């Protein structure tokens, strides 16, 4: 980033898809693939939530990188010996290089890896969650919700696009702005979208329709990071999330819904942003706050109607080995 420039996200991902017909060489096959994530990353957090909501834990295993990384890649420093127990690698970059020895772009999570070859299949995070909903439908748990129902796809896509451009990516446009002018443009664009969402969610419980959809997953992972990180670290400080009545109630509603809050590790989220972004936070001091107990306060969003899972059911308890560490979320004390 040079002075005066706006932040532009590199969206050239590995677009190979895992499909029912295996048209691109990777057929849907339970046990064959490993989803590699970091709980710190909002883009990876989406896939963690969708995998859990749909009950795909037995079909697709999950490897979890630590919250920090260096210029080379994310590492498996949470695992014994710093090695992923399934892939046998220390860094997710090894899976990228197994398929593309001269891979020139960013080494990102989430990524899905073909376990037999150890090679990355895709890191196209928006398509990953859509394919989990559609291509993997045969392996969804009984009672899994319809996160991308056909009759709502156009509206979901429309809402999700604005959420991505102005909110999900908007906070980064503020945080990594290269000039005062580019920062202020991003700032006003972000809060214009937040005001639009506040108005929309003051009248309906969820973003599209009367159940949780892909659009809600995509917004939630930014909202849950807003006050702990984006408000201060990225200078998104017109208002805190807790100062938006509808958005704050909506965020708590989702947080308290199985599959959402139980994937959130606030300690890892804060460590990632405040430690990795040395250009923004050169001291690498991680804030002690904010108090997180308010995430469990009543939200009263049920008064707007709607059924979170439609005709389906909530997912069961988090699997052993996939639980957020005690003390890293207020849910541990709930």
Enzyme catalytic residues = 41, 172
Between CA 247 and CA 329 the distance in angstroms is 20
Residue 219 DSSP SS3: helix
* Residue appearing with tokens 């306060």: 297
Strands 61-65 and 33-38: parallel
Between CA 64 and CA 110 the distance in angstroms is 10
Q: Which two tokens stand for residue 168?
A: 């999900």
Q: Which two tokens stand for residue 134?
A: 């559609």
Residue 57 DSSP SS3: coil
Distances (CA, A) of 38 to 9, 51, 52: 19, 14, 15
- Residues with Cβ within 8 Å of 215's Cβ and at least 6 positions away in sequence, in order, are 156, 159, 160, 163, 206, 207, 208
């Amino acid at each position: 980033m040079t002075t005066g420039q706006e932040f532009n996200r590199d969206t050239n991902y590995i677009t190979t898809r895992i499909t029912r017909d295996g048209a691109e060489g990777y057929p849907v096959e339970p046990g064959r693939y490993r989803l590699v994530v970091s709980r710190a990353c909002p883009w990876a957090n989406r896939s963690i939530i969708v995998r859990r909501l749909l009950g795909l834990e037995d079909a697709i295993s999950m490897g979890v990188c630590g919250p920090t990384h260096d210029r080379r890649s994310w590492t498996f420093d949470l695992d014994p010996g710093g090695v992923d127990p399934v892939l046998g690698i220390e860094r997710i970059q090894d899976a990228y290089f197994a398929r593309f020895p001269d891979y020139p772009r960013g080494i990102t999570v989430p990524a899905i890896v073909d376990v037999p070859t150890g090679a990355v299949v895709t890191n196209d995070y928006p398509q990953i969650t859509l394919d989990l909903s559609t291509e993997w439908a045969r392996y969804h748990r009984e009672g899994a919700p319809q996160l991308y129902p056909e009759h709502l796809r156009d509206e979901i896509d429309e809402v999700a696009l604005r959420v991505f451009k102005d909110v999900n990516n908007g906070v980064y446009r503020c945080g990594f702005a290269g000039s005062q002018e580019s920062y202020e443009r991003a700032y006003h664009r972000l809060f214009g979208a937040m005001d639009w969402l506040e108005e929309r969610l003051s009248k309906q419980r969820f973003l599209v329709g009367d159940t949780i959809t892909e659009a809600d997953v995509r917004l939630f992972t930014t909202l849950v990071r807003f006050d702990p990180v984006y408000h201060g670290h990225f200078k998104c400080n017109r208002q805190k999330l807790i100062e938006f009545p509808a958005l704050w109630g909506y965020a708590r509603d989702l947080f308290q819904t199985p599959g959402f809050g139980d994937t959130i590790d606030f300690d890892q989220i804060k460590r990632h942003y405040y430690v990795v972004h040395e250009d923004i936070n050169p001291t690498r001091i991680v804030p002690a706050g904010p108090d997180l107990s308010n995430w469990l306060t009543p939200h009263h969003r049920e008064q707007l109607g709607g059924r979170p899972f439609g005709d389906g059911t909530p997912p069961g308890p988090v699997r052993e080995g996939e639980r957020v560490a005690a003390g890293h979320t207020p849910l541990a004390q709930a």
